[in-house]
Structure 1
Amino acid sequence: MKNGAGKLTLDLAGAPDTDAEELRSLAEQLRRALLELDVEDVQFARGGTAAPEGAKPGETIAAGVLLVTAAPLFVRQVLQLVDTWLRHRPLRSVRVELDGDTIELGHASAEDQRRLIDAFVSARARQAGTPSSGE
Protein backbone atom coordinates (compact mmCIF):
# COMPACT_ATOMS: atom_id res chain seq x y z
CA MET A 1 0.00 0.00 0.00
CA LYS A 2 1.29 3.41 -0.85
CA ASN A 3 0.95 6.78 0.88
CA GLY A 4 -0.32 5.33 4.16
CA ALA A 5 -3.37 3.81 2.50
CA GLY A 6 -5.64 1.71 4.65
CA LYS A 7 -8.01 -1.16 3.96
CA LEU A 8 -11.70 -0.64 4.60
CA THR A 9 -13.80 -3.77 4.85
CA LEU A 10 -17.36 -3.26 3.59
CA ASP A 11 -19.77 -5.98 4.67
CA LEU A 12 -23.16 -5.76 2.96
CA ALA A 13 -26.10 -7.06 5.02
CA GLY A 14 -28.97 -8.16 2.82
CA ALA A 15 -32.65 -8.36 3.62
CA PRO A 16 -33.85 -11.69 5.06
CA ASP A 17 -34.77 -12.95 1.58
CA THR A 18 -31.48 -11.90 -0.09
CA ASP A 19 -29.49 -14.87 -1.40
CA ALA A 20 -25.72 -15.07 -1.92
CA GLU A 21 -25.99 -14.49 -5.69
CA GLU A 22 -28.01 -11.29 -5.23
CA LEU A 23 -25.62 -10.11 -2.51
CA ARG A 24 -22.64 -10.71 -4.81
CA SER A 25 -24.39 -8.80 -7.61
CA LEU A 26 -25.06 -5.85 -5.30
CA ALA A 27 -21.45 -5.94 -4.08
CA GLU A 28 -20.26 -5.84 -7.71
CA GLN A 29 -22.43 -2.75 -8.33
CA LEU A 30 -20.93 -1.06 -5.27
CA ARG A 31 -17.43 -2.11 -6.34
CA ARG A 32 -17.86 -0.42 -9.73
CA ALA A 33 -19.15 2.77 -8.08
CA LEU A 34 -16.21 2.83 -5.63
CA LEU A 35 -13.69 2.40 -8.44
CA GLU A 36 -14.90 5.72 -9.84
CA LEU A 37 -13.49 7.40 -6.72
CA ASP A 38 -9.77 8.05 -6.28
CA VAL A 39 -9.19 4.79 -4.38
CA GLU A 40 -6.28 2.47 -5.02
CA ASP A 41 -8.23 -0.78 -5.29
CA VAL A 42 -11.54 -2.52 -4.56
CA GLN A 43 -11.61 -6.32 -4.39
CA PHE A 44 -13.93 -9.02 -3.15
CA ALA A 45 -12.83 -10.47 0.17
CA ARG A 46 -11.85 -14.10 0.27
CA GLY A 47 -14.19 -16.27 2.31
CA GLY A 48 -13.35 -18.98 4.76
CA THR A 49 -16.02 -21.39 3.54
CA ALA A 50 -15.58 -24.48 1.39
CA ALA A 51 -14.67 -23.79 -2.22
CA PRO A 52 -17.25 -24.51 -4.92
CA GLU A 53 -16.74 -27.69 -6.93
CA GLY A 54 -13.85 -27.24 -9.37
CA ALA A 55 -12.33 -24.25 -7.57
CA LYS A 56 -8.95 -24.41 -5.90
CA PRO A 57 -8.95 -24.16 -2.10
CA GLY A 58 -8.66 -20.57 -0.90
CA GLU A 59 -10.35 -19.14 -3.99
CA THR A 60 -13.77 -18.74 -2.40
CA ILE A 61 -15.10 -15.20 -2.55
CA ALA A 62 -17.11 -13.92 0.40
CA ALA A 63 -20.50 -12.81 -0.95
CA GLY A 64 -21.13 -9.18 -0.13
CA VAL A 65 -17.74 -8.32 1.38
CA LEU A 66 -15.42 -5.83 -0.31
CA LEU A 67 -11.92 -4.65 0.60
CA VAL A 68 -11.24 -1.04 -0.35
CA THR A 69 -7.68 0.27 -0.35
CA ALA A 70 -7.69 4.06 -0.04
CA ALA A 71 -5.65 6.88 1.41
CA PRO A 72 -7.04 8.27 4.70
CA LEU A 73 -7.98 11.45 2.82
CA PHE A 74 -10.62 9.49 0.87
CA VAL A 75 -12.32 7.65 3.77
CA ARG A 76 -15.06 10.29 4.00
CA GLN A 77 -15.72 10.07 0.24
CA VAL A 78 -15.97 6.26 0.43
CA LEU A 79 -18.42 6.45 3.34
CA GLN A 80 -20.54 9.11 1.63
CA LEU A 81 -20.70 7.09 -1.58
CA VAL A 82 -21.70 3.94 0.33
CA ASP A 83 -24.40 5.88 2.21
CA THR A 84 -25.88 7.35 -0.99
CA TRP A 85 -25.62 4.05 -2.88
CA LEU A 86 -27.28 2.13 -0.04
CA ARG A 87 -30.40 4.32 -0.06
CA HIS A 88 -31.46 2.86 -3.41
CA ARG A 89 -30.68 -0.81 -2.78
CA PRO A 90 -32.54 -3.69 -1.09
CA LEU A 91 -30.03 -4.00 1.75
CA ARG A 92 -30.37 -3.58 5.52
CA SER A 93 -26.98 -1.98 6.05
CA VAL A 94 -23.30 -1.85 5.16
CA ARG A 95 -20.86 -2.38 8.02
CA VAL A 96 -17.52 -0.64 7.45
CA GLU A 97 -14.38 -1.53 9.38
CA LEU A 98 -11.07 0.30 9.27
CA ASP A 99 -8.22 -0.64 11.62
CA GLY A 100 -10.63 -2.07 14.20
CA ASP A 101 -13.01 0.91 14.12
CA THR A 102 -16.47 0.22 12.72
CA ILE A 103 -19.42 2.19 11.44
CA GLU A 104 -22.72 0.77 10.27
CA LEU A 105 -24.54 2.67 7.56
CA GLY A 106 -28.22 1.90 7.23
CA HIS A 107 -31.44 3.63 6.38
CA ALA A 108 -31.33 6.44 8.94
CA SER A 109 -32.16 9.96 7.81
CA ALA A 110 -29.61 11.67 5.57
CA GLU A 111 -28.80 14.12 8.39
CA ASP A 112 -28.25 11.31 10.92
CA GLN A 113 -26.01 9.44 8.48
CA ARG A 114 -24.00 12.62 7.78
CA ARG A 115 -23.47 13.13 11.53
CA LEU A 116 -22.45 9.48 11.95
CA ILE A 117 -19.92 9.73 9.10
CA ASP A 118 -18.56 13.05 10.43
CA ALA A 119 -18.10 11.57 13.92
CA PHE A 120 -16.35 8.46 12.53
CA VAL A 121 -13.97 10.48 10.32
CA SER A 122 -13.25 13.01 13.09
CA ALA A 123 -12.49 10.27 15.63
CA ARG A 124 -10.14 8.57 13.16
CA ALA A 125 -8.39 11.89 12.46
CA ARG A 126 -7.92 12.55 16.20
CA GLN A 127 -6.42 9.07 16.63
CA ALA A 128 -4.02 9.71 13.77
CA GLY A 129 -3.24 13.24 14.91
CA THR A 130 -4.32 14.76 11.60
CA PRO A 131 -7.07 17.28 10.88
CA SER A 132 -10.31 15.82 9.53
CA SER A 133 -11.34 17.00 6.10
CA GLY A 134 -14.85 18.42 5.89
CA GLU A 135 -15.26 17.61 2.20
Structure 2
Amino acid sequence: MRSDHADQRTDGVVNVVLVIAPDAELDPEAGERLTRQLRSEIAELDVESVRPWPGGTVPDGAKGTDPLTLGAVVVALSASGGVFTALVETVRDWLGRHSARHRVSLTIDGDTIELERASAAERRDLVDAYIRRHTGS
Protein backbone atom coordinates (compact mmCIF):
# COMPACT_ATOMS: atom_id res chain seq x y z
CA MET A 1 0.00 0.00 0.00
CA ARG A 2 1.40 3.40 -0.92
CA SER A 3 1.85 5.84 1.90
CA ASP A 4 0.77 9.12 0.31
CA HIS A 5 -2.55 10.51 1.46
CA ALA A 6 -4.00 10.67 -2.05
CA ASP A 7 -4.30 6.90 -2.18
CA GLN A 8 -5.86 6.19 1.20
CA ARG A 9 -9.46 5.11 1.47
CA THR A 10 -10.49 4.48 5.02
CA ASP A 11 -13.89 4.29 6.67
CA GLY A 12 -15.62 5.27 3.42
CA VAL A 13 -13.54 8.47 3.10
CA VAL A 14 -11.55 9.21 -0.04
CA ASN A 15 -8.70 11.73 -0.12
CA VAL A 16 -8.42 13.74 -3.32
CA VAL A 17 -5.33 15.88 -3.92
CA LEU A 18 -5.93 19.16 -5.71
CA VAL A 19 -3.00 21.12 -7.08
CA ILE A 20 -4.04 24.62 -8.05
CA ALA A 21 -1.75 26.56 -10.40
CA PRO A 22 -2.97 30.10 -11.06
CA ASP A 23 -2.01 31.75 -14.34
CA ALA A 24 1.74 32.42 -14.26
CA GLU A 25 1.14 35.96 -15.53
CA LEU A 26 -0.76 36.90 -12.37
CA ASP A 27 1.07 38.52 -9.52
CA PRO A 28 1.53 36.14 -6.54
CA GLU A 29 -1.03 37.97 -4.38
CA ALA A 30 -3.77 37.67 -7.01
CA GLY A 31 -2.91 34.00 -7.53
CA GLU A 32 -3.13 33.33 -3.79
CA ARG A 33 -6.46 35.16 -3.61
CA LEU A 34 -7.90 32.99 -6.40
CA THR A 35 -6.54 29.85 -4.73
CA ARG A 36 -8.19 30.83 -1.42
CA GLN A 37 -11.44 31.47 -3.28
CA LEU A 38 -11.46 27.96 -4.75
CA ARG A 39 -10.57 26.40 -1.38
CA SER A 40 -13.45 28.33 0.20
CA GLU A 41 -15.90 27.11 -2.44
CA ILE A 42 -14.75 23.52 -1.88
CA ALA A 43 -15.10 23.90 1.90
CA GLU A 44 -18.77 24.82 1.37
CA LEU A 45 -19.42 21.37 -0.13
CA ASP A 46 -20.34 18.39 2.02
CA VAL A 47 -16.67 17.37 2.39
CA GLU A 48 -15.02 15.98 5.51
CA SER A 49 -12.09 18.42 5.34
CA VAL A 50 -9.94 20.65 3.13
CA ARG A 51 -6.35 20.91 4.36
CA PRO A 52 -2.95 21.85 2.96
CA TRP A 53 -0.95 19.02 1.43
CA PRO A 54 1.47 17.83 4.14
CA GLY A 55 5.16 17.33 3.66
CA GLY A 56 6.05 20.22 1.36
CA THR A 57 6.19 18.24 -1.92
CA VAL A 58 3.50 17.62 -4.48
CA PRO A 59 2.33 13.98 -4.32
CA ASP A 60 3.35 11.35 -6.88
CA GLY A 61 1.17 11.52 -9.96
CA ALA A 62 0.00 15.08 -9.33
CA LYS A 63 0.90 17.57 -12.00
CA GLY A 64 2.82 20.58 -10.82
CA THR A 65 6.23 21.17 -9.39
CA ASP A 66 6.31 23.91 -6.79
CA PRO A 67 4.02 23.50 -3.77
CA LEU A 68 4.95 26.96 -2.51
CA THR A 69 3.50 28.69 -5.55
CA LEU A 70 0.91 26.06 -6.32
CA GLY A 71 -1.91 25.52 -3.86
CA ALA A 72 -1.74 21.85 -2.98
CA VAL A 73 -4.60 20.65 -0.76
CA VAL A 74 -6.12 17.37 0.30
CA VAL A 75 -9.89 17.14 0.20
CA ALA A 76 -11.35 14.31 2.27
CA LEU A 77 -14.82 13.30 1.17
CA SER A 78 -17.31 10.49 1.46
CA ALA A 79 -16.81 7.74 -1.10
CA SER A 80 -20.55 7.78 -1.74
CA GLY A 81 -23.28 10.34 -2.07
CA GLY A 82 -22.14 12.33 -5.09
CA VAL A 83 -19.68 14.57 -3.22
CA PHE A 84 -16.87 13.69 -5.62
CA THR A 85 -19.01 14.77 -8.56
CA ALA A 86 -19.85 18.03 -6.75
CA LEU A 87 -16.13 18.62 -6.09
CA VAL A 88 -15.21 18.16 -9.75
CA GLU A 89 -18.13 20.34 -10.86
CA THR A 90 -17.03 23.08 -8.44
CA VAL A 91 -13.50 23.04 -9.87
CA ARG A 92 -14.84 23.05 -13.42
CA ASP A 93 -17.18 25.95 -12.63
CA TRP A 94 -14.36 27.92 -10.96
CA LEU A 95 -12.15 27.47 -14.02
CA GLY A 96 -15.01 28.51 -16.31
CA ARG A 97 -15.54 31.78 -14.43
CA HIS A 98 -11.96 32.92 -14.97
CA SER A 99 -10.53 33.82 -18.36
CA ALA A 100 -6.89 33.41 -17.34
CA ARG A 101 -4.86 30.23 -17.85
CA HIS A 102 -5.35 28.63 -14.46
CA ARG A 103 -4.73 24.91 -14.07
CA VAL A 104 -6.10 22.49 -11.49
CA SER A 105 -5.19 18.84 -11.24
CA LEU A 106 -7.11 16.29 -9.20
CA THR A 107 -5.47 13.05 -8.11
CA ILE A 108 -7.29 10.10 -6.65
CA ASP A 109 -5.71 6.67 -6.23
CA GLY A 110 -2.78 7.75 -8.44
CA ASP A 111 -5.13 8.75 -11.29
CA THR A 112 -4.71 12.42 -12.21
CA ILE A 113 -6.88 14.65 -14.34
CA GLU A 114 -5.65 18.12 -15.26
CA LEU A 115 -8.15 20.80 -16.15
CA GLU A 116 -7.04 23.91 -17.97
CA ARG A 117 -7.36 25.37 -21.45
CA ALA A 118 -9.71 22.80 -22.96
CA SER A 119 -12.96 23.98 -24.47
CA ALA A 120 -16.03 23.68 -22.28
CA ALA A 121 -17.22 20.62 -24.25
CA GLU A 122 -13.79 18.93 -24.11
CA ARG A 123 -13.52 19.62 -20.39
CA ARG A 124 -17.05 18.24 -19.81
CA ASP A 125 -16.27 15.00 -21.66
CA LEU A 126 -12.95 14.56 -19.85
CA VAL A 127 -14.50 15.23 -16.44
CA ASP A 128 -17.45 12.93 -17.12
CA ALA A 129 -15.09 10.05 -17.97
CA TYR A 130 -12.99 10.72 -14.86
CA ILE A 131 -16.07 10.79 -12.63
CA ARG A 132 -17.33 7.50 -14.12
CA ARG A 133 -13.96 5.85 -13.33
CA HIS A 134 -14.17 6.84 -9.69
CA THR A 135 -17.87 6.49 -8.96
CA GLY A 136 -18.77 3.43 -10.99
CA SER A 137 -21.60 5.31 -12.71
Say whether the 8 Å CA contact 1:79–1:117 is kept in structure 2.
yes
Say whether the 8 Å CA contact 1:5–1:70 is kept in structure 2.
yes
Of 31-40 and 107-116, more deviation after overlay is shown by 107-116
Aligned mates of 1:91, 1:67 — CA distance in 2: 22
Matched with 1:81 is 90
Stretches of structure 1 that go unaligned for 5 or more consecutive residues are: 50-60, 126-130
Matched with 1:128 is none
Aligned mates of 1:99, 1:2 — CA distance in 2: 12
User: Secondary structure at 1:18's aligned position in 2?
Assistant: coil
Aligned mates of 2:77, 2:26 — CA distance in 1: 29
Stretches of structure 2 that go unaligned for 5 or more consecutive residues are: 1-8, 58-66
Aligned residues: 116
User: Secondary structure at 2:97's aligned position in 1?
Assistant: coil
Matched with 1:104 is 114
Say whether the 8 Å CA contact 2:101–2:117 is kept in structure 1.
no
TM-score when normalising by structure 2: 0.71
Offset of 1:37 from its aligned partner?
Answer: 1.0
Letter in 2 for 1:117: V
Offset of 1:14 from its aligned partner?
Answer: 2.3
Which whole-Å deviations, capped at 9, do the CAs of 1:6-33 have from their partners, x for residues lacking one?
Answer: 1111111222223443332222111110
Larger gyration radius, structure 1 or structure 2: 1
| Percent identity between the two aligned chains | 34
CA RMSD after TM alignment? 2.3
The within-5 A match list for 1:22-41 is 22-41=30-49
User: Secondary structure at 1:65's aligned position in 2?
Assistant: strand
Say whether the 8 Å CA contact 1:8–1:97 is kept in structure 2.
yes
The within-5 A match list for 1:5-44 is 5-44=13-52
TM-score when normalising by structure 1: 0.72
User: Secondary structure at 1:87's aligned position in 2?
Assistant: helix
